A and B are shown apart, each in its own frame.
Chain A
Amino acid sequence: MRISPSARLLAAEKGIDLASIRGTGPNGRIVRADIEGAPSVVPPSSVAQPSVAIAVPAASHSGDRVKASPLAKRIATEKGIDLTLVTGTGPNGRIVKEDVEAFSGAGRSPAPSTAMDPGLRREAPAADSRPSTGSGLTVDGGNIPHEVVKLSNMRKTIARRLTESKQQVPHIYLTVDVRLDALLKLRGELNASLEPRGIKLSVNDMLIKALGLALIQVPKCNVSFAGDNMLQYSRADISVAVSVPTGLITPIVTDAANKSLSKISTEIAELAARAKEGKLQPHEYQGGTASISNMGMMGIKQFEAVINPPQAMIMAIGAGEKRPYIVDDALAIATVMSATGSFDHRAIDGADGAQLMKVFKELVEKPLGLVA
């Protein structure tokens, strides 16, 4: 988004969501007059509230204010870099060319005249005195040795959205234990036959598909709560939580229910790789009808994830581990994982959530359904 510094300040003052403004300046740049002409109705804190702002899932993300120089914006556009992921080091946290180039990692440095150590060229900017994530917190750290780390735009977004979620969305958590032996066996067989194509399915790829199918089978859980309305999705787009150096991003597997496992696998590998380079396009991580977060690889037995509004559910996957397990009334050893669904209780009743968990469990335990 191209915007002049004075327009940005005025928009912040008037609490105007910049995403709603059409720029009339050069190259569509938003100028002061565009803001002056805009109705000032919403206080800034409510701009991203799902209940008023949601027409399309997660559209609120594009409303984040990004302070960047015209040059930084142009380079970001050209390189396909999302400026909300870039930390600005200019005045008041403004993103400058150097930040974008440092972020892309491909920055050439045509500055022959400097004798300074390039690693030291810029220091952390002064703390932004204006409210950022709306938390209004003051923490001074006291006598404990510490350094002040400036929040990236991504961290600010995460902080704001998760706070909103926990404050506004009544969560209900439903946990099931799911036996994985059949799925692991099938994965082995599939991977053996997929090897010539250079595809290796992960357990997570299969769980993404299972969640997609489960949401289609239990449509009451594939929804968004939107104030007076509820959006009932007929396609399951699964946001997959991927940890990146600057935080967390959720690339989306669209229509997961109707995609083959091999397609999901290659897609997610490609999305995750680009996510780590910060090169996802906004439409690749904004949206989604439900999320999946897998911390199994880190040995987490079970956890409850925070819903990513306006989505209404997220599936938290724990580690698959060998456990004593009752099979046919006899104690046996089985590979089992715990899966916990978090549901927006405004939109989803406990019974419907339980139904989704049941279907998900069945799909994983009888996994042929995932390939059929």
Chain B
Amino acid sequence: MSDYDLIVLGSGPGGYVAAIRAAQLGLKVAIVERENLGGICLNWGCIPTKALLRSAEIYHYMQHAGDYGLTAANISADIDAVVKRSRGVAKQLNQGVTHLMKKNKITVHMGDGKLTAANTLTVTKDGKTDELTAKNIILATGARARDLPFAPADGKRIWTYRHAMVPPEMPKKLLVIGSGAIGIEFASFYNDMGAEVTVVEMLDRIVPVEDADVSTFLEKALKKQGMTIMTGAGVEELKATATGVSAKIKGKDGKVVESEFTHCIVAIGIVPNTENIGLDALGVEMDRGFLKTDPMCRTNVPGLWAIGDITAPPWLAHKASHEGVIAAEAIAGGHPHAMDPKNIPGCTYCHPQVASVGLTEAKAKEAGYDVKVGNFPFLGNGKAIALGAAEGFIKTVFDSKTGELLGAHMVGAEVTELIQGYTIGKTAELVEADFMHTVFPHPTLSEMMHESVLGAYGKMIHM
């Protein structure tokens, strides 16, 4: 007789959602967490960074109050107060998850979980070990920042996202290595907060998973804000000194230049948390370091499931949550629908924001599609001008043969709140006629979504 129908190892946005869904479906559920309920996402990731970025945004507006006919004098930023607010937001959400566990009668075991068999897990806390059994176990242990092999983060001068979220002091001159979502968000935050920021990206453009037009636009916008951006560049050496960090950076031209910074954020990717959870002994199949799963999130070991950042990309909270629901429903005997990776949106909260779903124009062409592309600038949108945020664009990529929306790519104010419209359309497999026939409210930024589609078919009105 098992203790539980389901144990979830890890309480991030994948794990806690899986636990809630399974409990809703009548299963007896436990969740094991070594640190904070809610995981990285709402304690050390998505949510507290958004709180930081909000402060940076308001600070930015205050500095530009004159643009809106307002006067703001004696403006200053108190990094400690900004961080304190961010921690408060994380704490509130952490308590929210605690409450949700209670409400759904999910037993919370705090401690380090380790599989000893496909259906047995030990939980160790303060030297005390309990053994729990379950008919099914979902692994949702997530991922952590990848260190530079030659300069592991020390939390003082060399930071990962986690240190950057609770900085010991405000950096004056900041080096950000890596220009993915995490790197660019922190670069944007500290730039807005007044630091002198340099971003080093190995590939030939920043936010390299996004459409090339978005990368080009964002690079220009960030440079205009005073950021230094080096693409096609690599950090060859990084040393923490008493006063900062010293970095040898090889530029696009092949020349190595040594520069001094006060701090450095390493954001070169993630490593899945697959160590010390007992995977080896069970013979769990892996693929390039990540757990291999089928569309219902099953591993090759019966009764053992895996979701989120320890499985195939994209490594995003909403992907993990969706997988959590799929796995929970499959375990409860349902037949949930598999997730289509092409329909998972991605958002980056730099300033201006970036959001996208589906294939980039280049990827669509590479896949053999004959594409129709629409591109509408913020400059042509009344609401954007009224907001004083007339920079950015919305780009759509259609398959000219079938009218399928292959991808949508946006950069500009609030686009992270817009992308869901295209995501719904893509998921429902709407074609261009359906988007064209939809009435978009005026005056909103969403009108640009309409115009972009119209533009792909030569029917744009406001440009």
A198 at the interface (CB under 8 A from B): no
Determine if A327 is an interface residue (Cβ-Cβ < 8 Å): no
| Of B364, B429, B430, B437, the contact of A25 (CB 8 Å cutoff) | B437
Is B342 part of the contact surface with A, judged by Cβ < 8 Å?
yes
Chain B contact residues: helix, strand, loop or mixed: loop
Which of chain B's residues have a CB closer than 8 A to the CB of A108? 367-368
Residue A351 CB within 8 A of the other chain? no
Chain B, Cβ-Cβ closest to A69: B429
A26 touches B433 (CB 8 A): yes
Bound CA span A252–B248, Å: 78
Closest to A125 in B: B335
The answer to whether A110 and B341 touch (CB under 8 A), given A70-B434, A122-B295, is no
Identify the interface centre among B287, B366, B367: most chain A CB within 10 Å of its CB.
B367
- In the complex the two chains form, what is the Cα distance from A29 to B433 in whole Å? 10
> Using a CB-CB cutoff of 8 Å, which residues 299-337 of chain B contact chain A?
312-314, 334-337
Are A121 and B403 within 8 A (Cβ)? Answer: no
Assembly CA distance A89 to B313 (angstroms): 24
Q: Which residues of B contact A26 (CB under 8 A)?
A: 433-434, 436-437
Check A78 for interface membership: any CB of B closer than 8 A: yes
User: A112-B363, A117-B294 are contacts. A124–B335 as well, Cβ < 8 Å?
Assistant: yes
Q: Which of B215-251 contact A (CB under 8 A)?
A: none
Chain B's nearest CB lies how many Å from the CB of A88? 11
Bound-complex Cα distance A69 to B404 (A): 11
Residues of A contacting B437 with CB < 8 Å? 25-26
B103, CB-defined interface residue at 8 Å: no
What 1/0 flags go to B422-439 for Cβ under 8 Å of A?
Answer: 000000111101101100
Q: Known interface pairs A26-B437, A110-B368, A114-B341. Does A96 touch B429 (Cβ–Cβ under 8 Å)?
A: yes
A21 at the interface (CB under 8 A from B): no
A113 interfacial contact with B, CB 8 Å: yes
A-contact 0/1 string along B158-192, CB 8 Å cutoff = 00000000000000000000000000000000000
**Majority secondary structure, A binding face:** loop
Q: Is A123 an interface residue (CB 8 A)?
A: yes
Digitize B263-291: 1 where CB-to-A-CB distance is under 8 Å, 0 elsewhere: 00000000000000000000000010010
**Is the CB–CB distance between A91 and B337 below 8 Å?**
yes
Shortest CB-to-CB span from A74 to chain B, Å, is 5
Instruction: Decide: B402 and A78 in contact? CB cutoff 8 A.
Output: yes
Within 8 A of B (CB), among A87-123: 89-91, 96-97, 108, 110-117, 120-123
- A42 at interface (Cβ–Cβ under 8 A)? no
Most buried by B among A69, A89, A127: A69
Q: Is A72 part of the contact surface with B, judged by Cβ < 8 Å? A: yes
Q: Does B296 contact A (CB under 8 A)?
A: yes
> Which B-chain residue is minimally distant from A118 (CB atoms)?
B295
Residue among B292, B296, B335, B430 with max Cβ neighbours from chain A (10 Å): B335
Within 8 A of B (CB), among A51-75: 69-72, 74-75
Interface 1/0s, chain B 349-362, versus A by CB < 8 A?
00000000001000
Given that A78-B402, A113-B313 are contacting pairs, would A126 and B369 also be in contact in the complex, using a CB cutoff of 8 Å? no
| CA of A26 to CA of B432, assembled, Å | 10
User: Chain B residues near A25 (CB, 8 Å)?
Assistant: 437
Chain A residue numbers with a CB within 8 Å of B340 are: 111
CA A89 to CA B334, docked complex, whole Å: 14
CB pair B401–A78 under 8 Å, yes or no, is yes
Tell me, in angstroms, the Cα distance from A120 to B334 when the chains sit together: 16
For window 119-137 of A, CB contacts with B under 8 Å fall at: 120-127
B1 nearest CB across to chain A (Å):
22
B338 proximal to A (CB < 8 A)? yes
**Complex: chain B residue closest to A115, CB-CB:** B312
Contacts of A74 in B (CB 8 A): 402-403, 431
- Asked whether A113 and B341 contact (CB < 8 A) given A71-B404, A74-B403, A120-B294, the answer is yes
Q: Does A27 contact B (CB under 8 A)?
A: yes
Q: With A and B bound together, what is the CA distance between A75 and B313 in angstroms?
A: 29
Bound Cα distance from A97 to B429, whole angstroms: 8
Asked if A110 meets B431 with Cβ closer than 8 Å, knowing A97-B404, A115-B312, A121-B338, the reply is no
Q: Is the CB of A123 within 8 A of B295?
A: yes
Whether the Cβ atoms of A113 and B401 lie closer than 8 Å is no
Q: In the assembly, what is the distance between CA of A29 and CA of B430, in Å?
A: 12
A125 touching B404 by the CB < 8 A rule? no
**What 4 pairs across the A-B complex have the smallest Cβ distances?**
A110-B367, A69-B429, A71-B429, A115-B312
Could you show 14 A-B contacts with beta carbons less than 8 Å apart?
A26-B433, A70-B429, A74-B402, A97-B429, A110-B359, A110-B367, A112-B367, A113-B341, A120-B294, A121-B295, A123-B295, A123-B338, A126-B334, A127-B335
Extra 7 A-B pairs, beta carbons < 8 Å, given A74-B403, A96-B429, A115-B312: A97-B429, A110-B359, A120-B294, A122-B337, A123-B296, A126-B335, A127-B335
Enumerate chain A interface residues (CB-CB to B < 8 A).
5, 25-27, 29, 69-72, 74-75, 78, 89-91, 96-97, 108, 110-117, 120-127
Point out residues on B near A: beta carbons under 8 Å.
287, 290, 292-296, 312-314, 334-338, 340-342, 359, 363-364, 366-369, 401-404, 428-431, 433-434, 436-437
